[in-house]
Amino acid sequence: MSGGFLLLIGSAAMTIAIVKYPVGNASQMGPGYVPALLGGLLALLGFIIALRGTLSQVWKTDKFHSAVRPLFFILGVIILFGYIISVAGVIVSSALAIAGAALGTRETRTKEIIILAIIMAGLSDLFFVKVLAIPFNEWPLQ
């Protein structure tokens, strides 16, 4: 819990420093250089604390695979979504992301996931492309 909090605060501090102040580089430091560096270090420390806390609980309970599986599937799907949305379109990318995230648990029911992926892909297209007018491709190579 505290590691996640430090990660959040460090990321926010780093983002604010980068957005509001010129950062510069190591030879010509701007006013945002040190706050961005310290925010990044705080975020890294928070990540390490959160990871150690999570893994220590996992090793104690001897359920390593059941705890790590969702982590890899959900993070992997988020990264995959970011890479393929420009090529595959928002509908296909959203459907794949939902179906892939569902693989993070063993309690997945195929029929429910297919229905959920279709509904959520349609809603994401409606919301992001139609309502917010974000210039995403709706379908692959459009």
CA-to-CA distance for 46 and 67, rounded, in angstroms? 19
Q: Is the model's pTM score more than 0.85?
A: no
Percentage of residues in the chain with pLDDT exceeding 90? Answer: 11
Q: Give residue 119's pLDDT band: very low, low, confident or very high (50, 70, 90).
A: very high
Q: What is the pLDDT of residue 118?
A: 92
- Is residue 115 within 8 A of residue 68, CB to CB? The reply is no
Q: How far does Cα 93 stand from its chain's mean position?
A: 15
Question: How would you label 26-55 residue by residue, b for 16+ Cβ within 10 Å and e otherwise?
Answer: eeeeeebbebbeebbebbeebbebbeeeee
**Which amino acid is located at 73 in the chain?**
F
**Which amino acid is located at 87 in the chain?**
V
pLDDT tens per residue across span 13-44? 889 988 998 888 878 888 888 888 999 999 99
CA-to-CA distance for 51 and 72, rounded, in angstroms? 13
Q: What is the pLDDT of residue 65?
A: 56
